[in-house]
Amino acid sequence: MVAGSHLTVLDGREAATSPFSFEIEDLVVRYGQKPVLRVPRLTCPQVGVTSLLGPSGCGKSSLLKVVAHLLDPEQTYTGTVRDFGQARQPDAHPEGRTRYAMVWQTPIVFPCSIYDNLIIPLRKRRIPKKEWRGLIESTLEGVGLLQELGRSWDRLNADKISGGQKQRLCIARCLLQDSPAILLDEPASALDPISTERIEEIISRLGRDRPVLLVTHNLGQARRVSANAAVFCVDSLGGYVCEFGPARTCLHDPSTQDGRRFIVREVGA
């Protein structure tokens, strides 16, 4: 496995030093009484992109929800989950709140100006108002929107920009949260090739200094942006992780039969 640098401070609290951002062992996720996902072991480094790859219904998004503390009320899990070295309690539902920044498949923007969309995380962080504009402009520049939207960007309605721009706006809002990790659930699946390329460039940059978990159906995308990857499969008992490790091996030369079968199916060989 690939390990990044240690991180010892999280949300103002000291955390146990660990080479991993997330550690998962013997995880079973259930919907009601029915098992929907099994993960024997999975670890994510403190720096880099880890892709979760597999067919629909295999449990990729369920794993992301476990990490984010955002399981549906009908869902429970057993097993061990550690956040930056700290063990958490199973079946804890903190009222739909997560300390991790998330971007969903469908961009979620509020029907107001781009500026008003982006001050939300700054208000929550109690950043002084005089610093807002500078932080927002720097972040918009980082996702390629500042010049693209023009000088009147702050007065533009977020509902009126393109789908690719909305997704980059959502990523900008996540960055302004100053989250220790970023979780992405198929952020480019509904976008055109040019917008997808821009999103992938941003994902690659994000992974240089923090952990990023990326759910995707796209093998090519996973190969382009990932340091590590987990391949999910489905059997009569639900979804399960059949392959995990450095992306250069498990997405090109899998060690398991299920992993090889998935790769062959995806490339059409």
What domains can you pick out in the chain, each with its CATH number?
Answer: 1-100+182-269 (3.40.50.300), 109-178 (no CATH)
| Identity at 206, one-letter amino acid code | L
CA atoms within 13 A on the CB side of 188: 21
Give the mean pLDDT of the chain: 87
Over its C-alpha atoms, the chain yields an Rg (Å, rounded) of 19
Q: What whole-number distance in Å separates Cα of residue 86 and Cα of residue 88?
A: 6
Q: What is the pTM of this model?
A: 0.86
Q: What whole-number distance in Å separates Cα of residue 204 and Cα of residue 254?
A: 23
Q: What whole-number distance in Å separates Cα of residue 91 and Cα of residue 220?
A: 35
| Identity at 236, one-letter amino acid code | S
Q: What whole-number distance in Å separates Cα of residue 190 and Cα of residue 103?
A: 13
- In degrees and rounded to multiples of 5, residue 53 shows phi and psi of -125, 135
Q: What is the pLDDT of residue 17?
A: 57
Assign 3-state DSSP to the chain and report helix, strand, coil percentages, each to 5: 35, 30, 35
215 has a pLDDT exceeding 90 = yes
19 has a pLDDT exceeding 90 = no
44 has a pLDDT exceeding 80 = yes
User: Mean pLDDT, to the nearest integer, of 48-57?
Assistant: 93
Q: What is the pLDDT of residue 67?
A: 92
The predicted-structure confidence for 79-133, as pLDDT tens digits, reads as follows 999 988 888 865 554 555 577 999 998 999 999 999 999 999 999 999 999 999 9
CA atoms within 13 A on the CB side of 125: 21
Per-residue pLDDT band for 5 (boundaries 50, 70, 90) equals very low
